[in-house]
Structure 1
Amino acid sequence: MMLLETRALTANYGQFRALFGVDITVAAGECVAIIGANGAGKSTLMRSITGVIRNEAAMVLHRGEPIGALSSAEIMKRGIAMVPEGRRLFASLSVEENLLIGGQARKAPGPWSLEAVYDLFPILRERRKNPGTALSGGQQQMVAIGRALMSNPDLLLCDEISLGLAPVVIRDIYAALPKVREGGAAIVLVEQDIGKALAVADRVYCMMEGRVTLVAKAAEVTREEIHSAYFGVAA
């Protein structure tokens, strides 16, 4: 049984269809990368999995059970947490208060606590009393990841976690992902930096115009295959 599965998943924004029959699977403990150009449907896929966009129940399965029609809150309680593009921290709350909010989302036991998050990102321990939005972009991203981990998810969805960050910060954030997997969580990583994504992923899906155009093992896929799937033309 797969941890997560989408079956012929579609999604619309009003009259505009953004996803066309998308099928993906994620096994327990696996890291799956979703790549594609802007407008390919990657973020829409994340919103559909997390209940921001409602679907037919059987279009999204978690541990074999249909969840496509559930609310975001119900899906989070099941163990699916999201690190959204843009971080979306609470400006009026401190770093520590932002993290504690994540811990209220799910009561399941797990490896992630305040101390565990501070061990993962030590700078947050130093800044724990600072307003969350007063930090640098990279530190805010660490808070967003920590907040999601505080719910002790079995599946962590990361939407463009390196976007707009300095290379040294991206390196530190990516260095934390293996530790997240060691804690038992699978990861779905939406990323435009293909090299970064392939370096940490087990498998990769490429999307273009709302459809999956490539499924491959990250260690075996070629640049030519990615180019063709990414742009719809041969390299």
Structure 2
Amino acid sequence: MALLETQGLTAFYGDFQALFGVDITLDAGETLAIIGANGAGKSTLMRSISGMLANEPNQISFDGRLIGALPAPEVMALGIAMVPEGRKLFPSLTVEENLLIGKYGRSVKGTWTLETIYELFPVLRERRNNPGTALSGGQQQMVAIGRALMSNPRVLLCDEISLGLAPVVIRDIYAAFPKIRAEGAAIVIVEQDIGQALKVADRLYCMMEGRVTLTGTPDAISRADIHSAYFGVHAA
């Protein structure tokens, strides 16, 4: 049985339908990459799984439990943590206070504490008393990841974590994922950077216009296949 699964997932913003029958599975300890252009439905998928967007109860299951209609705090308490697009740090709080918020509502003890987060991202220890939004974009992203890890999640959802960051910063952030995975978390990474996604994923899903257009392992999918699934046209 998959740890996390969506079955025929649909999602709406009012009368606008954003997802059309999306099926994905995530096994324990696995890393999935969700790729696609802007408007493909990637962030809507993450919002649905995390409980930020309500769905039909039977369209999402986690560890055998139907969670599609659960609100975000209950989803987080079960062990699914979200690193949202844009980071969404609290500007009135310090780095350390932003990190500590991540453990509220989840009583499970595990590897991730302030100390282990600072070991993962040493620059945050140096900046721990600074306002969270006074950091560089890359450092803020580290805070957002650390905040999610503080709940010791079984599934870590990462929505567009490289967006707007310099390549050297992206490299430093992605260097943390093997350690995160080694500590037992399954990871779902939403990415527009196809090359980066292929480096870290066990499997990938490509989305276009709210539908899954391609799935497979990086070594079994050609760039031509990805191009076709990503843009809906065949590469020359």
Could you give the per-residue CA deviations for residues 15-55 of structure 1, whole angstroms, max 9, x where no partner exists?
11000000000000000000000000000000000111101
The structural deviation recorded for 1:220 is 2.0
Q: Which amino acid aligns with 1:161?
A: I
TM-score of the aligned structures, taking structure 1 as reference length: 0.99
Task: Determine if the alignment matches structure 1 residue 175 to structure 2 residue 175.
Answer: yes
> For 1:29-108, what aligned pairs fall within 5 Å after superposition?
29-108=29-108
Q: Which amino acid aligns with 2:121?
A: F
Contact 1:202 1:219 in 2 (8 A): no
For residues 136 and 219 of structure 2, what CA distance do their matches in structure 1 show?
A: 33
The structural deviation recorded for 1:234 is 1.1
Match of 1:212, SS state, is strand
Q: Which amino acid aligns with 1:160?
A: E
For residues 87 and 122 of structure 2, what CA distance do their matches in structure 1 show?
A: 19
Report the counterpart of residue 118 of structure 2 in structure 1. 118
TM-score of the aligned structures, taking structure 2 as reference length: 0.99
Q: Which amino acid aligns with 2:62?
A: H
Structure 1, unmatched stretches of 5+, are none
Could you give the per-residue CA deviations for residues 53-97 of structure 1, whole angstroms, max 9, x where no partner exists?
101111000011100000000000000000000000000000000
* Amino-acid identity (%): 72
Q: Which amino acid aligns with 1:122?
A: P
**Structure 1 runs of 4+ off > 4 angstroms?**
none
For residues 41 and 70 of structure 2, what CA distance do their matches in structure 1 show?
A: 21
Contact 1:95 1:129 in 2 (8 A): yes
Query: Aligned residue pairs: how many?
Result: 235
The structural deviation recorded for 1:105 is 3.0
Q: Which amino acid aligns with 1:183?
A: E
Structure 2, unmatched stretches of 5+, are none
> For 1:176-191, what aligned pairs fall within 5 Å after superposition?
176-191=176-191
Report the counterpart of residue 205 of structure 2 in structure 1. 205
CA RMSD of aligned residues (A): 0.6
For residues 120 and 219 of structure 2, what CA distance do their matches in structure 1 show?
A: 27
> For 1:136-151, what aligned pairs fall within 5 Å after superposition?
136-151=136-151
